[in-house]
Amino acid sequence: MIAAIQPTTTWYLLLSAALFAIGVVGVMVRRNPLVLFMCIELMLNAVNLSFVAFAKKMGDVGGESTVFFVMVVAAAEVVVGLGIVVAILRHKPNATTDDLSELKG
Protein backbone atom coordinates (compact mmCIF):
# COMPACT_ATOMS: atom_id res chain seq x y z
CA MET A 1 0.00 0.00 0.00
CA ILE A 2 1.29 3.44 -0.92
CA ALA A 3 1.70 5.86 1.97
CA ALA A 4 0.03 9.24 1.58
CA ILE A 5 2.39 12.19 1.38
CA GLN A 6 1.58 14.80 4.01
CA PRO A 7 2.02 18.39 2.83
CA THR A 8 4.32 20.42 5.04
CA THR A 9 4.30 24.10 5.86
CA THR A 10 6.92 24.65 3.17
CA TRP A 11 4.55 23.35 0.49
CA TYR A 12 1.85 25.75 1.61
CA LEU A 13 4.29 28.65 1.64
CA LEU A 14 5.55 27.79 -1.84
CA LEU A 15 1.97 27.64 -3.11
CA SER A 16 1.27 30.96 -1.42
CA ALA A 17 4.34 32.54 -3.04
CA ALA A 18 3.34 31.21 -6.47
CA LEU A 19 -0.22 32.56 -6.12
CA PHE A 20 1.09 35.92 -4.95
CA ALA A 21 3.51 36.09 -7.89
CA ILE A 22 0.70 35.31 -10.35
CA GLY A 23 -1.35 38.10 -8.78
CA VAL A 24 1.52 40.59 -9.01
CA VAL A 25 2.12 39.74 -12.67
CA GLY A 26 -1.59 40.14 -13.36
CA VAL A 27 -1.67 43.57 -11.72
CA MET A 28 1.39 44.70 -13.66
CA VAL A 29 0.37 43.36 -17.06
CA ARG A 30 -3.41 43.63 -17.35
CA ARG A 31 -5.32 46.87 -17.93
CA ASN A 32 -8.88 45.69 -17.35
CA PRO A 33 -10.19 46.89 -13.95
CA LEU A 34 -12.14 43.68 -13.30
CA VAL A 35 -9.04 41.56 -13.88
CA LEU A 36 -7.08 43.86 -11.57
CA PHE A 37 -9.63 43.25 -8.80
CA MET A 38 -9.32 39.49 -9.31
CA CYS A 39 -5.52 39.69 -9.16
CA ILE A 40 -5.62 41.75 -5.97
CA GLU A 41 -7.98 39.21 -4.42
CA LEU A 42 -5.60 36.43 -5.49
CA MET A 43 -2.75 38.20 -3.69
CA LEU A 44 -4.87 38.66 -0.55
CA ASN A 45 -5.78 34.98 -0.55
CA ALA A 46 -2.13 34.01 -1.01
CA VAL A 47 -1.25 35.99 2.11
CA ASN A 48 -4.18 34.39 3.93
CA LEU A 49 -2.84 30.96 3.03
CA SER A 50 0.55 31.81 4.50
CA PHE A 51 -1.11 33.15 7.68
CA VAL A 52 -3.01 29.89 8.12
CA ALA A 53 0.08 27.80 7.41
CA PHE A 54 2.11 29.64 10.02
CA ALA A 55 -0.76 29.55 12.53
CA LYS A 56 -1.03 25.78 12.14
CA LYS A 57 2.72 25.33 12.51
CA MET A 58 2.90 27.54 15.61
CA GLY A 59 -0.31 26.18 17.14
CA ASP A 60 -1.75 29.68 17.54
CA VAL A 61 -5.16 30.97 16.46
CA GLY A 62 -3.84 34.48 15.77
CA GLY A 63 -3.29 33.68 12.11
CA GLU A 64 -6.79 32.36 11.60
CA SER A 65 -8.35 35.37 13.30
CA THR A 66 -6.27 37.71 11.13
CA VAL A 67 -7.45 35.84 8.04
CA PHE A 68 -11.05 36.31 9.14
CA PHE A 69 -10.62 40.08 9.40
CA VAL A 70 -8.71 40.28 6.10
CA MET A 71 -11.55 38.42 4.37
CA VAL A 72 -14.15 40.77 5.85
CA VAL A 73 -12.24 43.84 4.67
CA ALA A 74 -11.66 42.25 1.23
CA ALA A 75 -15.37 41.53 0.88
CA ALA A 76 -16.22 45.14 1.70
CA GLU A 77 -13.60 46.32 -0.80
CA VAL A 78 -15.04 44.11 -3.52
CA VAL A 79 -18.58 45.33 -2.90
CA VAL A 80 -17.66 49.00 -3.16
CA GLY A 81 -14.95 48.72 -5.80
CA LEU A 82 -16.81 46.30 -8.02
CA GLY A 83 -19.92 48.47 -7.91
CA ILE A 84 -17.92 51.48 -9.09
CA VAL A 85 -16.12 49.53 -11.81
CA VAL A 86 -19.31 47.91 -13.12
CA ALA A 87 -21.04 51.31 -13.24
CA ILE A 88 -18.14 52.74 -15.24
CA LEU A 89 -17.97 49.75 -17.59
CA ARG A 90 -21.69 50.04 -18.31
CA HIS A 91 -21.20 53.66 -19.33
CA LYS A 92 -17.97 53.01 -21.27
CA PRO A 93 -17.54 49.28 -22.09
CA ASN A 94 -13.88 49.44 -23.16
CA ALA A 95 -12.64 51.40 -20.15
CA THR A 96 -9.13 50.69 -18.87
CA THR A 97 -7.40 51.63 -15.66
CA ASP A 98 -6.14 54.81 -17.34
CA ASP A 99 -9.74 55.87 -17.92
CA LEU A 100 -10.49 55.34 -14.24
CA SER A 101 -8.00 58.06 -13.33
CA GLU A 102 -10.65 60.54 -14.47
CA LEU A 103 -12.46 59.85 -11.19
CA LYS A 104 -9.86 61.90 -9.33
CA GLY A 105 -11.72 65.10 -8.48
Tell me the average pLDDT across 89-99. Answer: 77
- Kindly tell me if the per-residue pLDDT of 28 is higher than 80: yes
The pLDDT, as a whole number, for residue 18 is 97
Taking only the tens place, the pLDDT of each residue in 59-91 is 888 888 999 999 998 889 888 888 888 888 788
- Kindly tell me if the per-residue pLDDT of 53 is higher than 90: yes
Tell me the average pLDDT across 3-27. Answer: 91
Helix ranges restricted to H, the chain: 9-29, 33-58, 62-91, 97-100
Task: Kindly compute the dihedral angle of the four CA atoms of residues 80, 81, 84, 85, in this order, to the nearest 10 degrees.
Answer: -150
The lowest-confidence range among 40-44, 92-96, 99-103 is 99-103
The pLDDT, as a whole number, for residue 45 is 93
Fold of 9-100: Helix Hairpins (1.10.287)
Using N-to-C axis directions, what is the helix angle for 33-58 and 62-91, rounded to 10°? 180
Query: Is the pTM for the entire model greater than 0.85?
Result: no
Instruction: Give residue limits of the domains in the chain.
Output: 9-100
Tell me the average pLDDT across 7-28. Answer: 94
The Cα 90–Cα 64 span in angstroms is 38
